[in-house]
Amino acid sequence: MGTDPGAALKAAGGADIILSTTNSAKQIAAALAGLRHGGRLINMGIADGPIAVDSLSLLIGQRELRGSTQDERSDLFEALQLLARGKIKPRIEAYPLAQVNEVRERLEAGKVRYRAVLQHAA
């Protein structure tokens, strides 16, 4: 995806919905540019500062920026249905449980690109 998620999404034809879980206000603002006309960006992370929004882009593109928590069962159910149908593909960094301290250090340093997932071997 490079450093500009909005440009990458736009080059791929744009997105109808973006579910953002990042804490980077800069990345949220950049992703907004990747929405199609009438698209929605649902922000579920606590940003590290104000989100710079191009109001003209919102108006002309009839785009929406919404905030949401992850505590509604219906939201989780809908997201899991989209995942099961192959409509979304999460981007994760998977680590074995034994690396928990290294992962925590990567998180604190801001080096995790997507979502860090600890895997417990059964």
d(CA 121, CA 104): 19
Q: What is the pLDDT along the chain (122 residues), one digit of tens a residue?
A: 457 888 888 888 889 988 888 888 888 999 998 999 999 998 888 888 899 988 888 888 899 888 877 667 777 788 788 888 988 777 888 899 999 999 989 888 878 877 888 888 75
d(CA 26, CA 9): 16
Burial level of 18, CB count in 10 A (0-12/13-18/19+)?
buried
> What pLDDT is recorded for position 35?
92
> What pLDDT is recorded for position 58?
84
For residues 70 and 76, the answer to whether their CB atoms sit within 8 Å is: yes
> What pLDDT is recorded for position 1?
45
Instruction: Write down all domains in the chain, each with its CATH number in brackets.
Output: 5-88 (3.40.50.720), 91-122 (no CATH)
> What pLDDT is recorded for position 71?
67
Q: Which residues pair with 118 in a beta bridge?
A: 95
